[in-house]
Structure 1
Amino acid sequence: MAAVPLLLAGCGAEPEAATPEPRPVRAVTVEKREAGTPITLTGRIEADDEAILGFRIAGRVLENSVSRGQRVVAGQVLVRLESQNEMNALRVAQAGLATAQAQLTQARNHYERQETLIGQGWTTRAIYDQAEKARRTAEQAVEAAEAELKAAHDLVGFTELKADAPGTVTDAGPGAGEVVQAGQAIVRLARKDGRDAVFDVPANVLRTVPGDPEISVFLTEAPTVTAMGRVREVAPQADPVMRTFEVKVGLTDPPEAMRLGATVTGRVTMASGAIIEIPASALTRSEQQPAVWIVDPETRTVSMRNVDVLRFEPATVTISQGLDTGEVVVTAGVQALHPGQEVRLLGSSP
């Protein structure tokens, strides 16, 4: 009978909990490497001082005598508008001035006679005052006519678009017969011999390039044609479509072969020094800060550690603080881990 209680007790016993299997993960061993990878971008040659010229009045283009790439001198006529209306207005203003001048001559002669007569007592003060008023009115009429004539001359001059400085035409604009508006871009003029290499640079590249770097620029189709330069201007706002920043590199003594509009390649080396890079998949977050899982080589357990990220790349991240050489960082399976969990590194024995 004693065997029965023992049998019943044995049936009610709970089995021992099974030990969880280590979770398989992939990991890398942290190493430092020397930076200094060159960055290469493609750009174009532009003038460092470029102006857009346009007419002050609207009209129809009569003649466009310039072409792209043409060198011009200061004061050279580039484009003409039809000027019949302006010439007619000029002739009207000239006739108006001639009439005003004739009236002034008549008023002055009458005033001088009245001035003589009043001195001799042969006229009244009222007649003299009227003659003086007529003279002043005629003088003011001449001044107004002269102003109208000057304005008419200016309008005629506005029918000619002239180069304001010596330079090279980079865009010739509308041709003969086209109607243009006041202020419309007609000619683009590079006003100096200085040239820039212009690049569209992503934001992450701007962050990694050292301050005031020396940039090597060469013609894309002729790499032996080279020049050196430094950053002269960085656009304050990104392009709304490409999300890149326009960077202008002022070139020092560029060769003649680097003509305006030519395609060039620029190369700059990133700041040197030892850096730590890990795969981007290793990065997670803890307390709203970047973090990684560290594997203890003795216990094969993991713990989370916050790190400081210097820069992000599509496949890697550069760590500035938080990791040291020789540490093991989990790169795959980071979302399924918890502190103290035992892991098995894939590719190693269990």
Structure 2
Amino acid sequence: MCNRRTTSRQVFAPILMVAASALILAACGRDTETKESPPRPVRTTTIEKRESLVPLTFTGRVEAEDEVSVAFRISGRLLANDIKVGDRVEAGQLLAELEPQNELSGLRQAKAALSAAQGQLTQARNHYERQETLLAQGWTTRANFEAATQARQTAQSQVEAAEAQLSSAHDLVSFTELRADAAGKIIATGPPAGEVVQAGQMIARIARQDGRDAVFDIPAQMVRSAPAGVQVTVSLTDDPNVTAQGRIRQIAAQADAVTRTFEVKVGLTDPPAAMRLGATVNGRVEINSGPTIDIPATALTRINQQPAVWILDPSTNVVAARNVEILRFDQAQVTVSQGLDAGEIIVTAGVQALHPGQRVRVLGSEP
């Protein structure tokens, strides 16, 4: 029994020694191969921070800088309303009329009342003058004279009241005519002729000719980031070659209840004639987003399912992976928001063949 065990050990011992020797030699060979492999050539760049201008584009419309809605001051039935959208009007031009029968009747009554008051004033003055003469001669009493004085003053007041009523009647007649208060273009109209309208009801909306605005609906975060007085380039949507410059002159104090955007008005400087009222335009503005880091798109790789770059240690020429956060990117350039600092060196070519701790050789320098 003991002889068999001894024989087995004697047989397997040399085999185990040979296998162990082979493993040791293989490991040594790998270490030798790793140590002797040349550094991988790469290209690098040094990180710099630069001020970044972010272009923003919005679509809006052209409106008059000053619009006014015109309406009658009194209620009545429309007798004539021939204005149309797009018509040009001049200051003082007749736009619409109301039926004036009631107002003309009131005017006639006011004239009659003034004539009656003037007749009474004439009679009261004559009586006053007679009483004044008789009092001086001693043929009347002072009580009669004072009564004549009071009657004259009352008649004078009645004449003044009648004159005021006549002036008011003239105004009411003039209110039956609606005239433009400034030159411009009709951009909206109200009820047609024949309808009964109320005082203050819009009959026409006039865009005055003293300026134009480009109006945009802007999200709240963009409104907060836009500096005051920023210059905006406005161009026609259907013809980008037609452009005008402008500056933000008004921002709505309250957001729209439905869209939650703010209405922003851009005052246009010398807009071309092609930018007609109601035209669709694009507004472009560049906003400074602060210092940013831009790197070539070729430097970006993916490690741990996240964007990353290879950082080069210039003292040892060894690379290490680092995850970064991307702000925006295109085919040629990537803007990094976090993960890199100015002065660091990153690999821009050969990133796909690297692994952590690998020694590299920067092309154009000594190995």
Q: TM-score, normalised by structure 2?
A: 0.66
Equivalences for residues 50-69 of structure 1 within 5 A = 50-69=67-86
- For 2:171, the equivalent position in structure 1 comes to 154
Structure 1 contact 210–271 (Cα < 8 Å) conserved: no
Answering whether residue 198 of structure 2 is matched by residue 171 of structure 1, we say no
Amino acid at match of 1:101: Q
Instruction: Assess, with a 3 A threshold, how the Cα gap between structure 1 residues 265 and 112 changes in structure 2: closer, same or farther.
Output: same
Amino acid at match of 1:192: Q
Distance 1:145 1:208 in 2: 64
Distance 2:340 2:96 in 1: 67
Equivalences for residues 181-192 of structure 1 within 5 A = 181-192=198-209
Deviation per residue, 1:53-107 (Å, 9 max, x gap) = 2222112211113222222222222121111111111111111111111111111
Structure (1/2) with the larger helix percentage:
2
Aligned pair partner of 2:272 in 239, 249, 255: 255
Instruction: Assess, with a 3 A threshold, how the Cα gap between structure 1 residues 324 and 104 changes in structure 2: closer, same or farther.
Output: same
Amino acid at match of 1:70: D
- For 2:53, the equivalent position in structure 1 comes to 36
Aligned pair partner of 2:140 in 116, 119, 123: 123
Equivalences for residues 128-139 of structure 1 within 5 A = 128-139=145-156
Amino acid at match of 2:148: A
Aligned residues: 282
Deviation per residue, 1:230-264 (Å, 9 max, x gap) = 11111111111101111111111001111111111
- The runs of 5 or more residues in structure 2 that have no matched partner are 1-46, 295-305, 312-317, 329-334, 346-353, 357-367
Structure (1 or 2) with the larger CA radius of gyration: 2
Question: Displacement, 1:275?
Answer: 2.6
Answering whether residue 191 of structure 2 is matched by residue 205 of structure 1, we say no
Distance 1:159 1:181 in 2: 12
Question: Displacement, 1:321?
Answer: 6.9
- For 1:14, the equivalent position in structure 2 comes to none
Equivalences for residues 1-350 of structure 1 within 5 A = 35-271=52-288, 274-275=291-292, 324=341
Question: Displacement, 1:185?
Answer: 2.1
Deviation per residue, 1:34-61 (Å, 9 max, x gap) = 8434222111111111122222211221
- The runs of 5 or more residues in structure 1 that have no matched partner are 1-29, 278-291, 313-317, 328-347
Q: Secondary structure at the match of 2:241?
A: strand
RMSD across aligned positions (CA): 3.8
Distance 2:150 2:201 in 1: 48
- For 1:345, the equivalent position in structure 2 comes to none
Question: Displacement, 1:322?
Answer: 7.4
Q: Percent identity?
A: 60
Distance 2:141 2:338 in 1: 105
